[in-house]
């Protein structure tokens, strides 16, 4: 892992800071995942240098959160978020600390972090600083708060969601102080922007131990604070047969379990994007077609956007159907056309066959019929054969 080009660049970046007289450390998730031997997505750096000093050391520096001390450094074709050591005081709005103060020591910076396993730092030589025994908690597989859990969750209630998502992702247990604090303060999640809760909840349902994560949501009263779940005791008890990877799958899954709340309401109350909305509908429609025909039809495959194949396979698994993703890929590969544009016979050809007929909805429905027949391989995608098929056997209905 140390040989990974991303880590190589990070160590080189730390050395650059060191050579200019500043301290720099890899912090947070990257250290945790490195120690665990898990793959590392991105590397965050904490430094004693102030943002303008970081900008003097490196050539490509983009200010992305100067007021919080964060800049983005492009270095050796990689991006690093570099944040000045800081502490935070007061969270009267439960969102942003009232005051951010830059400090001089990494230890002070680590004290503001949520869990012991996220409060370790590594210097340019690879030495680990671990004032809260995060390494021991990694070994014991525990989610333990830095300091008093009750205090830390009332400062920032999002940490409660984070505790449960790390428990699911890492297959760890939450410490009893953490679970007690969540039980008593879950209601404070109401102060947190739903988009931020959604990010953590999606990571929880996609985690290795999603079952435990969801059971904790139920047992600790977190569901009572989540849109839609709060009003559906039924949904609070459901455990999918597989993890749900992404919000679109999540919506399609839960909508299938309880269709008293529609997809529009899911998207709206969880403040999801239009893309999530489109994908949820596509997945739901494909599921509907699957359930009607009891198989993966060509028509299903034709209508399902290719990038959603893994999500659809995921949805089927979560619902307990024994369909392999390979099957979906195979059916997609067999499709005679990919879209209506690929049809060998178009609207103009149809009009040419009945030039005296007034233009109207018959054209659209005629093309749809051809499309359906071609996709299902009842009709080859060839001009002459389609022409004959329409002309002799399937003239468009008159309207």
Tokens 């809260």, located at residue: 132
185 lies in the site for ligand ATP, by CB under 6 A: no
205 lies in the site for ligand ATP, by CB under 6 A: no
Question: Which residue lies nearer to ligand ATP by CB, 118 or 282?
Answer: 118
Q: Which long-range contacts (CB under 8 A, 24 or more apart) does 37-44 make?
A: 37/1, 40/1, 40/4, 40/6, 40/7, 42/79, 42/80, 42/81, 43/6, 43/7, 43/10, 43/80, 44/80, 44/81, 44/83
**Residue 128 near residue 121, CB atoms below 8 Å:** yes
From Mg ion, ligand ATP, none, interface partner of 159 (C-beta below 5 to 8 A by class) = ligand ATP
199 lies in the site for Mg ion, by CB under 5 A: no
227 lies in the site for Mg ion, by CB under 5 A: no
Q: Return the residue of 29, 131, 221, 227 that touches ligand ATP, per CB under 6 A.
A: 29
CB of 33 to Mg ion, least distance (A): 9
The full 3-state SS of 290-357, as one line of letters, equals HHHHCCCCHHHHHHCCHHHHHHHHHHHHHCCCCCCHHHHHHHHHHCCCCCHHHCCCCHHHHHHHCCCC
From Mg ion, ligand ATP, none, interface partner of 160 (C-beta below 5 to 8 A by class) = none
Q: Which of residues 12-31 bind Mg ion (CB under 5 A)?
A: 29
Task: Give per-residue burial for 218-243: e unless 16+ CB within 10 Å, then b.
Answer: bebbbbbbbbbbeebeebbeeebebb
28 lies in the site for ligand ATP, by CB under 6 A: yes
Question: Which residue lies nearer to ligand ATP by CB, 161 or 313?
Answer: 161
Q: Return the residue of 158, 189, 286, 328 that touches ligand ATP, per CB under 6 A.
A: 158
Contacts with ligand ATP, 77-116, as mask; x by CB under 6 A: ------------------------------------xx--
246 lies in the site for ligand ATP, by CB under 6 A: no
Question: Which residue lies nearer to Mg ion by CB, 29 or 147?
Answer: 29
CB atoms within 10 A of CB 41: 9
Report the alpha-carbon distance of residue 316 to residue 22 in Å, rounded.
Answer: 53
- Take residue 180 and report the two structure tokens written for it: 């007690």
Q: Return the residue of 47, 48, 84, 118 that touches ligand ATP, per CB under 6 A.
A: 118
CB of 159 to ligand ATP, least distance (A): 5
Report the alpha-carbon distance of residue 159 to residue 149 in Å, rounded.
Answer: 9
336 lies in the site for ligand ATP, by CB under 6 A: no
164 lies in the site for ligand ATP, by CB under 6 A: no
221 lies in the site for ligand ATP, by CB under 6 A: no
380 lies in the site for Mg ion, by CB under 5 A: no
Angstrom distances, CA of residue 61 to CA of 14, 19, 22, 27, 57: 15, 18, 17, 19, 9
Interface residue list for Mg ion (CB under 5 A)? 29
Interface residue list for ligand ATP (CB under 6 A)? 28-29, 41, 44, 113-114, 118-119, 156, 158-159
């Amino acid at each position: 892992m140390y040989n990974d080009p991303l880590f190589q660049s990070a160590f080189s970046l730390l050395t650059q800071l060191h050579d200019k007289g500043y301290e720099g450390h890899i912090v947070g998730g990257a250290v945790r995942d490195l120690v665990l031997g898990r793959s590392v997505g991105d590397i965050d750096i904490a430094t004693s240098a102030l943002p303008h000093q970081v900008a003097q050391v490196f050539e490509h520096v983009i200010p992305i959160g100067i007021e919080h001390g964060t800049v983005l450094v492009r270095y050796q074709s990689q991006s690093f978020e570099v944040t000045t050591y800081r502490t935070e005081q007061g969270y009267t709005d439960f969102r942003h600390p009232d005051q951010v103060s830059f400090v001089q020591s990494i230890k002070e910076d680590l004290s503001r972090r949520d869990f012991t396993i996220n409060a370790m730092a590594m210097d340019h030589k690879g030495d680990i600083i671990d004032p809260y025994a995060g390494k021991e908690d990694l070994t014991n597989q525990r989610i333990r708060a830095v300091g008093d859990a009750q205090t830390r969750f009332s400062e920032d209630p999002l940490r409660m969601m984070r505790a449960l998502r790390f428990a699911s992702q890492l297959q760890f247990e939450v410490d009893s102080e953490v679970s007690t604090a969540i039980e008593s303060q879950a209601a404070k999640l109401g102060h947190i922007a739903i988009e931020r809760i959604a990010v953590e909840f999606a990571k929880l349902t996609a985690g290795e131990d999603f079952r435990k994560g969801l059971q904790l949501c139920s047992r600790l009263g977190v569901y009572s604070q989540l849109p839609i779940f709060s009003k559906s005791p039924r949904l609070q008890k459901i455990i999918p047969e597989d993890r749900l990877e992404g919000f679109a799958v999540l919506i399609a899954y839960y909508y299938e379990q309880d269709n008293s709340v529609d997809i529009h309401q899911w998207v709206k109350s969880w403040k999801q994007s239009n893309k999530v909305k489109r994908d949820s509908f596509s997945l739901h429609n494909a599921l509907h077609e699957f359930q009607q025909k009891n198989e993966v039809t060509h028509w299903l495959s034709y209508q399902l956007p290719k990038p959603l194949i893994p999500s659809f396979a995921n949805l089927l698994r979560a619902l307990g159907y024994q369909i392999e993703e390979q099957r979906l890929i195979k059916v997609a590969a067999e499709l005679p056309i990919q879209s209506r544009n690929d049809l060998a016979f178009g609207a103009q050809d149809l009009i040419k066959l009945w030039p005296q007929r007034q233009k109207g909805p018959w054209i659209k429905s005629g093309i749809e019929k051809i499309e359906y027949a071609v996709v299902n391989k009842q009709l080859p995608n060839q001009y002459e054969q389609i022409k004959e098929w329409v002309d002799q056997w399937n003239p468009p209905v008159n309207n």
